[in-house]
């Protein structure tokens, strides 16, 4: 069906519907004839019309009249009846709440200005949460006049109205639960009568309401009705501020000048005490008291405090009060109590007393009475209520018993009390009346010592060192001394110093010492003892007992024996009574030495008093193993030698290493002229060769070799690296062999002797046929690929070799024989129709001329610059084609910069490209080089040679990301010391790559932007349409496989993936548009089906049923439309 036909069909359907609706209204408007309730009228269209009368319920009002309720359900009638019940109305929560009202007023002679701040929360109706609602909030304030427009803050709208009966009302329009703030300024009249001034107003009912009224008068008296917490505060300029809160109903504030005479009030004291009792011994206790006294009537000026028996105040803070003793008890009466008077410096309603007391035992009583104390009877005389807590603190030296008297009970401590080092909390009590009684009894306690020993023995060649760790646990009374039996060991040290005093107890004749603690201790602590025994024989049997502590109870200890590197031990387990061998605990495991015997552990049985350690021992001699590795960098006349001698010292440390070397080498090492060129390292520490090279024989004798020793900074055990660096002149290159001297170890076993020769530049290194060196086939190839690896089975003091040049036209007087290209930068600039190459080399050469062969014939211009000076070009015929002859200026500098600007009239087409790099004749490859590729704005690089290393970064230009080099052209010019040229345009696409080895040729692939966008977008669009119209391809397994393949491609080619992703944006947009069109057509098609069905049906039934069909799953669902009454066409 076309669109015009669809519009015509839709217009006809709408007209038919409107006509039927009009005829229905006319039929309803006619007065029906009297018929039965269920009378049926036939129409020509065979439609049955049924008349249904409304349901009417009558109720009688208060006047006796019948009121009809038409078509109302029972629930609706009940709801209407319940609206008159105020109790049922209040069951529903209000739609608002007033959180806070703040009144700030300024009173003048006859008027007052009130600034009212109201905080309101409106509550949303869940049924109409999406519709705006109005709520009226009564602000009252009937007698006030509004001065300014109200200020409103909130997410709604405000409408302020005034009613004579209700006062001001704030109408707020809101949609959801929200917070609102109103600020209004009112003016109200002040009433004056009988020298008093008053203000009246009706505040709104709020959860929190406060008033702050500034009135004239410096000393005033005020009263408030329907308010609480009235306070008067003098302010500046002979005025006062009246504050109050909890405002209700009508608030009336009255004030007048002058202060009322206060009537005498009765004083009611409330005393709350916190008592901490510290037990110092059987005859003395100390109490720290914090006593809070509060008056609920007249201010406190003074009061009396009665102390427990035999108690005196020893210290007091006396901040704001004074304590005066009123009576002093006699010594004969132990039950008489001391009374003191506390006088406040300034009367107040509350005071806190902080003081300390001391209670002593009775001097004339018996032993049982002398150790009993009353600790809770701190009584404030005349106090109405007295309560508090008593906390007992004691050390483990004493046994404490308590006896509860009247008005005292034990409670669980709710507040944490800080335990000191020597006292801990025992119990907490509460008293709730005075006088009360809490008696405690103190007795001495015995001491029990438990110890867990750990022994660590280190057996050396001439002595045995022992470290003893003693973990003590002391229960009961504190101890000041600990006994220890040395059993023939010599005591070196005792620690830690904070726990035990080191008094050099090893001078004791009976080998038993008494360790004095720094202070009496109890609980858990540790001691560390260090002892030793001498070993006189180089081998034999060692038998010695362990030093032993004195204890009441011992936990099973452990003994760990660790031999030195040169010591071998064999334990006699059958003779070690009381010791059982077991695995070494993790805390005793140390970094193992390959040469040392592993440690052994033995468990001490707690049923044995002591045990002897018995072992056979033997001392091994020192062993040295050496590996010699020589690295030699060879130039035309000099060899830079670096010898590394890796020593492995076993069993005993070495303080000196022996070497032998040719006499000429020794003279070079000690010659002051070559001090800066010679370097001696021992374990990466540079040493002075004059101080550490000690000759063992006559250096001026006839012997060709010199034996020397290297004095180590300190004795070494294990691996020692000795590195010797020196230059050696091998003379000009030619047919003669030159010997390079080497140093070799004389002590120990030589494990390997290797050498690696690396020439600098295009040179050839040959080994003499008479040398005992052989080429090392198993050596790892060097990175340069030009080195020669050698190995010798025996120690060799020289390496004969010959060096020959590989370059023609070399200057024999130049220190640089061959041409060495050190740095290279090649820039390839492709324009739309041409190509320009910029070639920069940084090289060193001993020749007057160098020859460069370009990658392809030049059909444009060539510009040559050497060290910043332009020279004419000179082309010659070489073996592989035309070569550019470049003359090197004869100057003192060793490095030169050669620049070439080559212009080509043609460029390779976009796509796969191959570039051949320029090449020097008889020159080494550059150590490092950069290749920079510049493309037009409309051309992008897709793929590059995998042997190249990218040196690019991404940057954003507008809406897209582009690759650019990590080094700018200016930085590359500074790096190669080239001349400064014009920069690269910002719109050009530039790429930078680097490599260590030479890569020739270089292959890349580019693509124009238009073709790239077209190809990728068409591909994405075709793929998207395929997914839309072929549901089978939308299977989760297929989509997962596609996603995994996409992720793998992105990880392998991240740069190309970003370019392709940006090129596919157009295709992705078209796919999204296709999805929208498909969804729209699927939504329109069912509506067309319904309209066609309605037209074809053409009947006037009032009930129409339309069948909906979902094309996706083929299921049918039926929806019934609204029943329309149809009128008779002849009516």
Distance CA 213, CA 337 (A): 54
- The domain in which residue 231 lies consists of 93-257
C-alpha neighbours within 13 Å on the C-beta side of residue 740:
30
Q: pTM higher than 0.85 for the full model?
A: no
Q: Residue 966 falls within a domain, yes or no?
A: yes
300 and 173 fall within a common domain: no
The predicted-structure confidence for 389-423, as pLDDT tens digits, reads as follows: 999 988 767 788 888 988 899 998 766 656 565 67
Give the C-alpha separation, 1056 to 1, whole Å. Answer: 48
The DSSP secondary-structure symbol of 706 reads: E
Helix (H, G, I), strand (E, B) or coil at 1087: helix
Tokens standing for 728?
């050696």
Best CA proximity match to 284, nearest among 368, 370, 369:
370
Q: What CATH code is carried by the domain that includes residue 124?
A: 2.60.40.1730
Same domain membership, residue 650 and residue 704: yes
In whole angstroms, give the CA distance from residue 218 to residue 196. 15
Q: What is the dihedral of CA 546, 552, 558, 559, to 10 degrees?
A: -10
Do both 207 and 321 map to the same domain? no
929 sits in which H/E element: strand 928-935
Instruction: Establish how many alpha carbons lie within 13 A of residue 187's alpha carbon, considering only the half-sphere containing its beta carbon.
Output: 8
Last residue in a domain, options 757, 772, 805: 805
Do 835 and 788 lie in one domain? The reply is no
Structure tokens belonging to residue 313: 């105040």
In-domain check, residue 15? no
In terms of domains, do 245 and 320 share one?
no
**Looking at the 3D structure of the chain, how many domains does it have?**
6
The candidate with the shortest Cα–Cα distance to 500, out of 514, 512, 490, 515, is 515
- 3-state secondary structure string across 943-971: EECCCCEECEEEEEECCEEEEEECCCHHH
CA atoms within 13 A of residue 1012's CA, in its CB half-sphere: 21
Q: Which of 995, 1011, 1027 is the last residue of a domain?
A: 1011
DSSP state of 310: T
Q: 10 Å Cβ neighbour count for 300?
A: 20
- Contact between 612 and 735 under an 8 Å Cβ cutoff? The reply is no
Q: Are residues 462 and 403 in the same domain?
A: no
Closest CA to 799 of 645, 677, 639, 669: 639
Q: Which two tokens stand for residue 603?
A: 């468990």
DSSP state of 461: S
Cβ neighbors of 759 (< 8 A, separation 6 or more) are 634, 635, 765, 786, 787, 803
* Residue 785 and residue 652 share a domain: yes
Q: Which residue has the tokens 């060539």?
A: 862
Residue 827 CB neighbours (<10 A): 21
Instruction: Give the pLDDT of residue 647.
Output: 92
Place of tokens 């409330």: 270
- Integer Cα distance of 201 and 630 in angstroms: 106
In this structure, the answer to whether residues 336 and 420 fall within a common structural domain is yes
Question: Residue 22 domain-assigned?
Answer: no
Instruction: Write out the two tokens for 816.
Output: 């640089």
Which strand (E) or helix (H) includes residue 29?
A: helix 3-29
pLDDT digits (tens, 9 = 90+) for 782-799: 554 567 889 998 888 888
Domain membership of residue 1097 (yes or no) is: no
Question: Is the CB of residue 1047 less than 8 Å from the CB of residue 1001?
Answer: no
d(CA 588, CA 386): 61
**Does 32 reside within a domain?**
no
Spatial separation of the C-alpha atoms in residues 822 and 744, rounded to whole Å: 35
Asked whether residue 237 is domain-assigned, the answer is: yes
Maximum CA pair distance of the chain?
157
Please tell me whether residues 479 and 613 are part of one structural domain.
yes
Closest CA to 523 of 448, 599, 590, 598: 448
Low-confidence ranges of the chain (pLDDT < 50): 19, 22-47, 86-89, 261-264, 363-370, 506-508, 784, 815, 1095, 1099-1131
CB atoms within 10 A of CB 579: 24
DSSP at 223 = E
Q: Is 860 exposed, middle or buried, given 0-12, 13-18 or 19+ CB atoms closer than 10 A?
A: middle
Same domain, 570 and 636: no
Q: Report how far Cα 371 is from the mean position of its chain's Cα atoms.
A: 60
d(CA 1103, CA 868): 100
DSSP string, 225-292: ES-EEEEEEEETTTEEEEEEE---SSEEEEEEES-PPPPP----EEEEEEEEEEEEETTEEEEEEEEE
Residue 889: C-alpha distances to residues 264, 507, 806, 893, 895 (Å): 118, 88, 21, 10, 11
Q: Do both 210 and 318 map to the same domain?
A: no
- State the burial class of residue 808 (Cβ atoms within 10 Å of its Cβ: 0-12, 13-18, 19+): exposed
- Residue 838: name the closest of 865, 815, 877, 856 by CA: 865
Is 1120 a domain residue? no
3-state secondary structure 365-398: CCHHHHCEEECCCCEECCCCEEEEEEEEEECCCE
What angle in degrees, to the nearest 10, is found between the helix axes of 1065-1097 and 3-29? 40
Contact of 486 with 511, CB cutoff 8 Å: yes
Element housing 3 (H / E): helix 3-29
Residue 102's pLDDT is 95
CA distance 814 to 893: 11
Q: Give the CATH number for residue 846.
A: 2.60.40
277 found inside a domain = yes
Q: How many residues appear in the chain?
A: 1131
CA atoms of 555 and 607, how far apart (whole Å): 10
d(CA 204, CA 188): 16
CA 404 from centre of chain: 56
SS3 category, 75: helix
Rounded Cα distance between 369 and 363, Å, is 10
Q: Report DSSP state, residue 1041.
A: H
Contact criterion met (CB below 8 Å) for 803 and 636: yes
For residues 839 and 624, give the distance between their C-alpha atoms in angstroms, rounded to a whole number: 56
pLDDT computed for residue 626 by the predictor: 93
What is the chain's alpha carbon radius of gyration, rounded to the nearest angstrom?
55
Q: Are residues 424 and 573 in the same domain?
A: no
3-state secondary structure of 1080: helix
* DSSP code, position 573: G
C-alpha closest to that of 499 among 526, 475, 472, 478: 526
Please, are residues 335 and 237 in contact by the beta-carbon 8 Å criterion?
no
Cis peptide before 182 (omega within 30 of 0): no
């Amino acid at each position: 069906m076309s669109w015009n036909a669809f519009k015509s069909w839709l217009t006809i359907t709408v007209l038919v519907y409107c006509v039927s609706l009009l005829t229905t209204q006319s039929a309803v408007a006619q007065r029906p004839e009297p018929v039965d309730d269920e009378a049926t009228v036939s129409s020509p269209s065979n439609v049955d019309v049924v008349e249904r009368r409304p349901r009417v319920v009558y109720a009688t009002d208060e006047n006796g009249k019948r009121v009809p309720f038409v078509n109302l359900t029972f629930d609706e009638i009940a709801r209407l009846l319940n609206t008159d019940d105020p109790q049922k109305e209040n069951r529903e929560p209000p739609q608002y709440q007033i959180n806070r009202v703040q009144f700030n007023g300024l009173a003048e002679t006859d008027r007052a200005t009130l600034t009212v701040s109201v905080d309101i929360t409106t509550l949303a109706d869940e049924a109409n949460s999406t519709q705006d609602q109005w709520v009226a909030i009564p602000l009252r304030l009937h007698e006030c006049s509004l001065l300014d427009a109200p200020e409103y803050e909130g997410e709604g709208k405000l409408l302020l109205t005034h009613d004579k009966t209700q006062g001001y009302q704030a109408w707020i329009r809101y949609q959801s639960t929200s917070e609102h703030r109103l600020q209004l300024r009112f003016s109200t009249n002040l009433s004056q009568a009988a020298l008093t001034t008053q203000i009246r107003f009706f505040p709104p009912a709020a959860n929190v309401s406060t008033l702050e009224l500034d009135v004239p008068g410096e000393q005033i008296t005020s009263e408030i009705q329907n308010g609480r917490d009235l306070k008067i505060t003098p302010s500046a300029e002979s005025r006062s501020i009246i504050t109050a809160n909890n405002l209700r109903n009508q608030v009336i504030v009255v004030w007048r000048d002058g202060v009322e005479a206060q009537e005498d009030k009765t004083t009611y004291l409330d005393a709350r005490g916190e008592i901490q009792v510290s037990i110092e011994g059987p005859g003395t206790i100390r109490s720290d008291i914090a006593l809070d006294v509060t008056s609920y009537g007249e201010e406190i000026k003074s009061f009396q405090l009665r102390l427990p028996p035999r108690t005196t105040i020893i210290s007091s803070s006396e901040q704001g009060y004074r304590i005066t003793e009123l009576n002093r008890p006699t010594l004969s009466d132990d039950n008489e109590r001391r009374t003191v008077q506390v006088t406040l410096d300034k009367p107040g309603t509350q005071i806190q007393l902080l003081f300390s007391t001391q209670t002593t035992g009775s001097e004339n009583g018996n032993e049982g009475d002398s150790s009993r104390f009353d600790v809770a009877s701190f009584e404030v005389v005349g106090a109405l209520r007295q309560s508090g807590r008593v906390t007992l603190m004691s050390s483990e030296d004493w046994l404490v018993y308590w006896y509860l008297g009247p008005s005292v009970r034990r409670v669980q401590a709710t507040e944490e009390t800080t335990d000191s080092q020597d006292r801990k909390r025992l119990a907490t009590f509460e008293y709730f009346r005075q006088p009360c009684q809490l008696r405690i009894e103190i007795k001495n306690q015995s001491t029990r010592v438990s110890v867990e020993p750990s022994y660590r023995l280190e057996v050396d060649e001439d002595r045995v060192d022992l470290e003893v760790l003693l973990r003590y646990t002391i229960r009961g009374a504190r101890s000041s001394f600990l006994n220890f039996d040395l059993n023939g060991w010599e005591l070196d040290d005792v620690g830690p110093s904070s726990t035990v005093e080191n008094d050099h107890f090893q001078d004791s004749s009976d080998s038993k010492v008494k360790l004095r603690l720094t202070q009496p201790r109890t609980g858990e602590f540790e001691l560390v003892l260090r002892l030793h025994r001498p070993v006189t024989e180089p081998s034999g049997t060692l038998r010695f007992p362990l030093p032993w502590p004195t204890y009441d109870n011992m936990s099973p200890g452990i003994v760990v024996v660790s031999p030195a590197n040169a010591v071998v031990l064999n334990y006699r387990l059958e003779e070690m009574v009381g010791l059982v061998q077991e695995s070494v605990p993790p805390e005793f495991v140390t970094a193992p030495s390959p040469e040392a015997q592993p440690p052994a552990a033995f468990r001490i049985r707690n049923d044995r008093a002591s045990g002897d350690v018995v072992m056979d021992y033997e001392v091994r001699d020192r062993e040295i193993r050496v590996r010699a590795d020589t690295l030699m960098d060879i130039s035309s006349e000099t060899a830079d030698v670096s010898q590394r001698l890796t020593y492995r010292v076993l069993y005993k440390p070495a303080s000196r290493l022996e070497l032998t070397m040719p006499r000429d080498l020794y003279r070079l090492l000690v010659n002051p002229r070559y001090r800066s060129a010679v370097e001696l390292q021992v374990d990466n520490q540079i040493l002075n060769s004059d101080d550490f090279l000690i000759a063992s024989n006559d250096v001026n004798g006839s012997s060709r070799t010199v034996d020397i020793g290297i004095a180590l900074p300190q004795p070494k055990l294990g691996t020692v690296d000795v590195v010797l660096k020196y230059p050696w002149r091998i003379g000009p290159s030619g047919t003669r062999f030159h010997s390079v001297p080497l140093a070799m170890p004389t002590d120990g076993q030589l494990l390997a002797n290797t050498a690696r020769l690396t020439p600098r530049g295009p040179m050839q290194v040959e080994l003499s046929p008479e040398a005992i060196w052989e080429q090392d086939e198993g050596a790892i190839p060097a990175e340069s690929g030009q080195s020669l690896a050698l190995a010798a089975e025996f120690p060799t003091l020289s390496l004969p070799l010959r060096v020959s040049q590989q370059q023609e036209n070399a200057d024999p007087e130049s220190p640089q024989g061959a041409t060495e290209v050190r740095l290279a930068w090649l820039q390839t600039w492709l324009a739309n129709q041409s190509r320009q190459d910029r070639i920069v080399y940084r090289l060193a050469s001993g020749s007057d001329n160098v020859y460069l062969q370009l990658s392809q014939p030049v059909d444009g211009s060539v510009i040559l610059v050497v060290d910043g000076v332009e020279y004419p070009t000179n082309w010659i015929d070489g073996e592989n084609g035309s070569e550019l002859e470049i003359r090197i200026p004869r100057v003192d500098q060793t490095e030169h910069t050669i620049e070439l600007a080559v212009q080509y009239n043609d460029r390779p087409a976009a796509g796969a490209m191959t570039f051949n790099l320029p090449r020097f004749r008889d020159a080494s490859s550059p150590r490092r080089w950069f290749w920079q590729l510049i493309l037009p704005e409309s051309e992008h690089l897709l793929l590059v040679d995998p042997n190249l290393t990218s040196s690019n970064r991404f940057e954003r230009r507008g809406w897209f990301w582009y690759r650019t080099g990590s080094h700018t052209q200016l930085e590359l010019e500074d790096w190669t010391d080239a001349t400064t040229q014009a920069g690269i345009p910002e719109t050009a696409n530039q790429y930078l790559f680097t490599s260590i080895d030479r890569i020739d040729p270089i292959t890349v692939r580019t693509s124009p932007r238009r073709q790239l966008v077209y190809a990728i977008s068409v591909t994405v669009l075709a793929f998207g349409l395929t997914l839309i119209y072929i549901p089978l391809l939308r299977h989760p397994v297929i989509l997962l496989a596609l996603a995994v393949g996409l992720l793998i491609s992105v990880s392998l080619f991240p740069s190309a993936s970003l370019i392709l992703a940006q090129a596919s944006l157009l295709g992705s947009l078209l796919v999204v548009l296709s999805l929208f069109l498909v969804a729209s057509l699927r939504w329109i098609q069912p509506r067309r089906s319904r309209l066609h069905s309605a037209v074809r049906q053409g009947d006037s039934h009032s009930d129409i049923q339309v069948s909906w069909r979902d094309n996706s799953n083929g299921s049918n669902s039926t929806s019934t439309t609204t029943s329309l009454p149809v009128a008779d066409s002849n009516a």
